[in-house]
Amino acid sequence: MLKASIIALSLAAPFAAALPTQASAAVDLVVRIAPPAPRYEVVPPPRPGYLWTPGYWSYRGNQHYWVAGTWVRERPGYVYNHPTWVQRNGEWHLTAGYWARHDRDRDGVPNSRDRDRDGDHVPNWADRHPNVPGR
């Protein structure tokens, strides 16, 4: 049992630089090294019932590595939020990609944050022109 624990610890040691955080469930990774610029990827032709998720930089073993884009099956009523890096207080936080509920108007913004963009008092989900005031 001790030998298995030592092996497990030695395998986990390279990930120590990627300080996991428990303060926010949405943040999966925190590092001090900025990710490189995104790589250019050729987006394949559309596939019915699937959504293309572009590639992004992740972090493992004290270095960034590229995760190639891929197709994921669409989830009706949900919007996909891509993995993103954000800098805060000298650290880089990676939030993993996730599906958010409710996107009735399919504009990529969850309904909870998508009420009335143009201020015409018509909810965006019922507005034929949600970005044009008075239409």
**pLDDT tens profile 19-32:** 333 333 356 789 99
pLDDT surpassing 90 at residue 130: no
Long-range contacts of 60-68 (CB under 8 A, 24+ apart): 60/14, 60/15, 60/18, 61/14, 61/15, 62/14, 62/17, 64/33, 64/35, 64/36, 66/39, 68/41
pLDDT surpassing 60 at residue 39: yes
Q: Is position 23 within any domain?
A: yes
Q: Is position 35 within any domain?
A: yes
3-state secondary structure 1-35: CHHHHHHHHHHHHHHHHCCCCCCCCCEEEEECCCC
pLDDT tens string 40-76: 999 999 999 999 999 999 999 899 999 999 999 998 8
How confident is the model at residue 8, as a pLDDT?
45
pLDDT surpassing 70 at residue 17: no
Q: Is position 88 within any domain?
A: yes
pLDDT surpassing 60 at residue 18: no
Q: What is the residue range of 76's domain?
A: 2-101
How confident is the model at residue 29, as a pLDDT?
84
pLDDT tens string 87-123: 988 999 999 888 877 656 666 665 655 566 676 767 7
How confident is the model at residue 51, as a pLDDT?
93
Residue-by-residue DSSP string for 79-96: EEE--EEEEETTEEEEEP
Q: Is position 41 within any domain?
A: yes
Q: Is position 64 within any domain?
A: yes
